[in-house]
Chains A and B, each alone.
Chain A
């Protein structure tokens, strides 16, 4: 039957041509009954979307033109939101496990029963040993709520997924300059002339980077992509640097060497805005070796060129020196900058010295350094905008250096990632290109000095809240979470000598440590949206065994697992109790300034999600937004802040909390439309109509930073005062950038035997070596421990632009773009092994082997192979057919990666992570490859047994749109 909607009856009113045998069309059909504006959640990018509804169903989703993040555009994931919302894999009701763990056999239960079960496990823990609850969240854009909940419960064991994602990037940025990339800041896309992008997962910060690249292209700016793989952003880069994985830090330090050698650094910027002139104790016998010389008030001192004497760094009228020596109490003190220059001017960092390891010709390193210098200093930008700095000095203009950088997991997920990220920030700062026109700029509530962040807490008292926030930024050994007996206070061993600055925790170590009972046993593992039995864990098969392993008495080693997800993921099968979440179109959320907001460099902004369609699971107990369920569970447990004095629930649900919770007086989850009149910006009492005001405003709130406050924010008094007005801080807090991170030196001093808190002997050398207060580079650990002749190659994953983690495969449209994931191998590897089209290979690491299909890719570092992340699925998951290519041919590289390093022969467990932050070193993986026979049924290996689907299978065919 021809479709009736072609409308051959209606005459086209614009058509003036004589009938030319062409049907007239209705070119003005009704699009929808209503447009509801909310925030996308197809990835973590948080774009504004217009959801078109017709007959109560979602007909079309487009980008919201008014929204600061995406300005109207929308990526493939966002446009595929319809298929996610109506995915057959949606969970329908709370469930309790009836089969063995991992089987996927569940029984649907009521919400009341679900809460009773959870309460039955959690109440006794809280009353006796709160640390026996480990609560970790994968999706972490409600951290201000989940951390508050965990703190009220009293367990120290809480974190989100940053530890296995990009904590190196975030922590290095915050320790160095009070903010990092992505939600912390952005390039000045309109003014940048040279943009360098290092190792970025292309699924986020998705639309802003693409919009920005479009602007750079339109403006004729140059883009340099540094990545072993030339796909996506690197494909359109004017220049691609196909670096050897794990050597970015070395490359960056060679660029710094070149700039210093030629004197192409911004000295005025360094003097004004950084700790470059601070005097550092140079006596390696002193207990204060490497620490700043301070006055009686504790203020770091600089050497005044005018008087030749030391002076407090912030004293007016001084002219600090950047080289020289000041002798005090028999000890020579020299400025940070001089030490920095000596370090990087050494032969260790010449382009010639690093070239081979980086896989980049020395001439090329020199040329890139020259280009950076040329653009930064010869193409200076001047904006005629007066502003006032923190010392009260008035400036007539804003002067900028139009060089900008961006980086993410590619440089971060290595065991040298923290120092590499630090090196990149030091490069930005030496060029004077942070918070200046054309450079990189912070987004409110950043910049924020590291000292303004909380420190981590471990004070557990049964029946009581934890004594402070779980996560934070340590300033020295005193702040570690090590118990009196020397063991870790947290199940993930965050903030211990193994990884002292683990600001985001180590979610990837939780299951392994809980299974090993190291540092102690737990009772309940409670997780939210983290596919830890599959693509979010290293050593996937091993983790599945840990989750199903039983004690001698027949009880599971990890006795209880509660899990919340919206979909039938692999992790669902391993839980005992499922709290079903809603889809992103059915829920309330706040993208809060207390968490990871959506601000832009020139505006503070936050946003909401709201149920643009009501949760609808006919015939089932239904789903609830996880945050609502968490609040309801909290009030059942009587957690402080979640109940009224009479014990009744304080908040009905998440929406109620979002609107009425106050973190400090006048400060709540949403900054906009505060106060009874809805006029409050940042500050004001709760507004009972706040969510409605957001909805009326398109789902977000935005307040522009005044022009005089838009650059130089950490030192700009107009910005500081504005930030206080908006409630971002309670008092101005100007600060200097830390080229030299003094807290790191405190850990080093401890490793050298100074101070009360001492590392265990086996970690002394590691702490001493890793905690260099100036960035250094070391070879990735895995490559250092194995025989590189046996495992000569690198293997990586990256996420495609059109998929988000494991979520995409249940999406009927997206899985047609990325339904399988071949292993792409370089032309050199291809030829060496005489691969041919259709071949399969065995890839072996120190930990395991996989058998997978291979495809040739020339635009790839010669020693590298890679695949798309999280395309491979366990059969039975995500409501896919068991024969789905994702479950059959698709594979995970995770099976080659272990959460522990290869044994060193010392009998100890060394985690496969950065020794400073504990970030999972996914990209350190070393492998060898060989041709193998095409496996039967084209099935990749290893192949997990199927899981039962608690939601059945998706329909055979779709004709979405036939109802409209």
Chain B
């Protein structure tokens, strides 16, 4: 089995804002596009134009409906990729050392040369964040675009994961959670960033910002009210026409 580093110098990861994610799948496809021709084996698409197309994706968006009794139903878009856990069970379960967590930045990677495609890591991951590539027979997962974020051939401003760079709504943020002053740390603190399934004790690095409370009315017809704000124009001063006349006089 494979050891995890005691600690990592940085804790790189993502903040994903569920209040802003419109579920457009931009991150899903740009991730696919970058990663199919960069780190490791291509992300294959089996039966690509056929009956049961099955491709490898490192990031997927799930859509859930939340219906609480007496409240208007909500739709939540939930992007999911590897959370780069500090206690990553996918690493410790790996029989060959192919899965590892980088000491310098905490990114969890698969060294495909050593991966035997046994699938134990995918089974161990409680988030379903790893996918076996059916063409190559190796395990694929989010690399946090390790081949972008340090890449001298890319303009500095673009040295961020492809999903973050492409997100149209700005719902994805990248940074170092080990630095309490980083953009991601501060954002997460300000908005109540949540760990996904903390009871699993995997200590994920990524954080999700919960949707802000909606102002939809509840099913019982209660309305919060600005309503008195729209008072009728006083009848004693001539109602609408009286008001109009006075208002025009002021100009």
Contact = CB atoms under 8 A, between A and B. Distances in A.
A234 B63 CA distance: 13
Contacts, number: 334
Given A264-B230, A827-B73, A959 B19 contact: no
A588 B53 CA distance: 33
A73 B26 CA distance: 9
Contacts of A321: 248
Given A79-B26, A363-B223, A957-B48, A2 B113 contact: yes
Q: Give the most central of B30, B46, B153: most A CB within 10 Å.
A: B30
B179 interface: no
Nearest to B247: A267
B208 interface: no
A264 B251 CA distance: 16
Given A230-B73, A859-B74, A367 B21 contact: no
Interface string B222-243: 0111110111110000001101
Interface stretch (B121-129, B160-168, B194-202): B160-168
Interface in B52-99: 52-55, 57, 63, 65, 67, 72-77, 97
A235 B36 contact: no
Interface residues of A, number: 122
B162 to A, nearest CB: 8
Contacts of A373: 229-230
Given A323-B244, A367-B226, A859 B147 contact: no
A808 to B, nearest CB: 11
Contacts of B169: 210-211, 213-214, 217, 236
B5 A30 contact: no
A232 B55 CA distance: 24
B157 A65 contact: yes
Contacts of A616: none
B11 to A, nearest CB: 15
A859 B75 contact: yes
Contacts of B52: 885
A510 B7 CA distance: 69
Contacts of B63: 231
Contacts of A16: 104
Contacts of A305: 248
Nearest to B241: A323
B214 A239 contact: yes
Main SS of chain B's interface residues?
A: loop
A958 B157 CA distance: 32
B248 A322 contact: yes
B29 A802 contact: yes
B106 to A, nearest CB: 12
A3 B138 contact: yes
A579 interface: no
A510 B170 CA distance: 43
Nearest to B32: A813
A225 to B, nearest CB: 10
Contact of B29 (A79, A260, A267, A827): A79
A17 B103 contact: yes
Contacts of A233: 22
B227 A366 contact: yes
Contacts of B166: 62-63, 73-75, 79
Nearest to B225: A367
A962 B23 contact: no
A800 to B, nearest CB: 8
B100 interface: yes
Given A3-B138, A955-B48, A816 B168 contact: no
Given A2-B113, A207-B168, A859-B75, A959 B44 contact: yes
A956 interface: yes
17 contacts: A21-B2, A27-B146, A214-B20, A235-B22, A236-B211, A239-B216, A260-B240, A319-B248, A361-B217, A367-B225, A373-B229, A801-B25, A816-B53, A859-B75, A885-B52, A959-B135, A960-B36
List the 10 closest pairs (A to B, CB-CB), nearest first. Answer: A954-B49, A961-B37, A210-B168, A858-B73, A214-B170, A961-B36, A235-B75, A961-B42, A27-B150, A859-B73
